């Protein structure tokens, strides 16, 4: 039997899991990169010192565990105090804590990235936060207080103990993508989702993903995105009691299309959001 290292144990002790894992966030970034206008591409490149959105998409998950970045931990989620699976809802007054939440963070960093008075470093950081949080908000369990967003629901994946939240972030996503966090998986998964957006099964509904897409009403749009994702908790994510169950089976089969559409949505929205910000601040 493998004895877990101290580092692995301390990771297990982290109360709230990451958000889409590294591959999920990188896919959101890669899809968004694909939809940038030429002007937005250069706007982003200048802010990110030449980096792509895909490559910086997980920075906020590293930063939150540093002393300097601790303040940003609540920005990765909104703890909706609803009653899944019978009633799902997100309410900003009820659910966004005093320390902020993903909705207030998207609004804050949308404003900051366009604020010409910020230093280059602060502007870059604002964009990196935004790239990450527009990804996090589409993960249904990031918009849910129940059992700490599923972190406290133990499940197994291929026999190994994990929790419901982590399975959505990483194990199920990597299975849907067809591999782990490698650049080959990133390319093929993002190409598959871009194909569906352009001319496949998502092409008829992608316009509805942008039904709230005004950068001047960032808080309202971020709330609408949180509500859209939170609804999946009643429809599927928390509909059945998965406590102690193996997820790599029927549960995964139902989860896969939700993961794929939510990642595609996040990437498509992020690209559009950045295009609008770049156009408004040439």
Per-residue binding letters, 169-198, with ligand NAG (x by CB under 6 A): ------------x-x---------------
Per-residue binding letters, 100-139, with ligand NAG (x by CB under 6 A): x---xx--x---x---------------------------
- Shortest distance (Å) from residue 249 CB to ligand NAG: 26
Q: State how far the Cα of 97 lies from the Cα of 74, in Å rounded to an integer.
A: 8
Tell me how far apart the terminal alpha carbons of the chain are, to the nearest angstrom: 58
3-state helix, strand, coil in the chain (%, to 5): 60, 5, 35
Nearest to 15 by CA among 64, 59, 63: 64
Mark whether 64 is an active-site residue.
yes
Instruction: Catalytic residue, from 34, 64, 79, 157: name it.
Output: 64
Q: Phi, psi (5° rounding) for residue 83?
A: -130, 65
- Residue 105 or 164 with smaller CB distance to ligand NAG: 105
- Residue 22 or 227 with smaller CB distance to ligand NAG: 22
Count of all residues that appear for the chain in the document? 282
- Shortest distance (Å) from residue 165 CB to ligand NAG: 17
- Shortest distance (Å) from residue 162 CB to ligand NAG: 16
Q: State how far the Cα of 152 lies from the Cα of 146, in Å rounded to an integer.
A: 9
Total number of residues that touch ligand NAG (CB under 6 A): 8
Q: State how far the Cα of 222 lies from the Cα of 62, in Å rounded to an integer.
A: 23
Mark whether 20 is an active-site residue.
yes
Kind plus residue range of the DSSP H or E element containing 157: strand 154-157
- Asked if 22 interacts with ligand NAG (CB under 6 A), we say yes
Site for ligand NAG in 83-102 (CB under 6 A): 100
Q: With contact defined as beta carbons under 8 Å apart, do 40 and 65 qualify? A: no
The catalytic site residues sit at 20, 25, 61, 64, 76, 132, 136, 142, 165, 169
Site residues (vs ligand NAG, CB under 6 A): 22, 100, 104-105, 108, 112, 181, 183
């Amino acid at each position: 039997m493998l004895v877990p290292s101290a580092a692995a144990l301390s990771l297990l002790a982290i109360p709230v899991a990451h958000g889409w894992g590294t591959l999920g966030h990188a896919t959101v970034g890669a899809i968004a990169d694909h939809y940038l206008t030429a002007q937005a591409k250069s706007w982003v490149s200048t802010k990110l010192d030449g980096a792509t959105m895909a490559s910086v998409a997980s920075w906020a998950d590293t930063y939150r565990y540093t002393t300097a970045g601790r303040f940003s931990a609540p920005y990765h989620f909104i703890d909706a105090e609803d009653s899944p699976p019978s009633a799902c809802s997100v309410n900003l007054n009820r659910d966004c804590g005093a320390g902020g939440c993903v909705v207030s963070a998207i609004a804050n960093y949308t404003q900051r990235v366009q604020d010409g008075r910020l230093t280059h470093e602060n502007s870059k950081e604002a964009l990196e936060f935004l790239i990450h949080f527009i990804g996090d908000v589409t993960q249904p369990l990031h918009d849910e207080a129940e059992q700490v967003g599923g972190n406290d629901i133990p499940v197994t994946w291929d026999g190994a103990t994990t929790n419901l939240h982590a399975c959505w972030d990483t194990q199920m996503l990597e299975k849907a993508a067809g591999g782990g966090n490698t650049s080959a998986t990133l390319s093929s998964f993002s190409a598959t989702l871009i194909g569906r957006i352009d001319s496949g099964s998502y092409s008829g509904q992608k316009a509805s993903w942008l039904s709230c897409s005004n950068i001047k009403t960032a808080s309202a749009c971020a709330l609408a995105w949180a509500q859209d994702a939170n609804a999946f908790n009643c429809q599927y994510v928390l509909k059945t009691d998965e406590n102690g169950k193996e997820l790599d089976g029927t549960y995964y089969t139902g989860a896969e299309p939700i993961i794929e559409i939510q990642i595609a949505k996040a990437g498509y929205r992020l690209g559009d959001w950045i295009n609008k910000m770049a156009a408004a601040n040439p």
